[in-house]
Amino acid sequence: MSSEDEKTTAIGLLEREWHQLDTWLRSLSEAQLDRPVFSAGPGWRVRDMPTHMAWWQELAGRVAEKIAAEGGAPDERGSRPFLGIDTPFDELNATTHETWRERPMKDRWDRWLVAHSRMIDAFRALSPDQLLQGEGGLEGLKRYFAVPALIHLRSHRQNIEAALKETTTT
């Protein structure tokens, strides 16, 4: 398989997984959306997760855009320092949560879609060697793309599934 084919395959995987998660999340009832997600921190509900995950996909998109425009890549410190963001993860998550906590779901869904679309467009603009790592693992993506683009979504899907299951049995 050529490197362009590998890039197309990796982006296709991201698209499929995001669309499956999007379809599932949008199928949840208002009561399910209001259920607490215990692993995300105090006061977080299922409805807070799309904007949380969107922030991280926006981060991946911004990294890809910077790489496409300027070259370079995040070092072992990660994506935030590469973009000049000094704020710790917990603070970023808390700020996103507070900013979006009272916003209607329509606004949240819009941000979720825009963030994902921006990231995918930015990934498509990269060459295969800018997007993909050398060998296997992380679905072929460089770690600083795989974590916010795919692994983060998978992890939070599990958190949401557990929260929905836990709150239906108590």
Q: What's the CATH code of the domain at 122?
A: 1.20.120.450
User: For the whole model, what pTM was predicted?
Assistant: 0.91
The mean pLDDT value of the chain amounts to: 92
| Per-residue pLDDT, 1 | 73
Neighbours of 80 (CB within 10 A): 17
Residues of the domain holding 29 = 3-169
Q: Which two tokens stand for residue 103?
A: 């916003």
- pLDDT tens, 92-144? 999 999 999 999 999 999 999 999 999 999 999 999 999 998 766 567 899 99
Domain count of the fold of the chain: 1
Tokens of 4: 């362009």
How many alpha carbons fall within 13 Å on the CB side of residue 118?
19
Specify the pLDDT at position 170: 46
Average pLDDT, integer, range 63-77: 96
Torsion of CA 116, 18, 10, 96, to 10 degrees: 40
User: Rounded distance, CA 89 to CA 81, Å?
Assistant: 12
Q: Residue 22: name the closest of 137, 131, 140, 115 by CA.
A: 115
Find the angle CA(86)-CA(91)-CA(96) to the nearest 5 degrees: 110
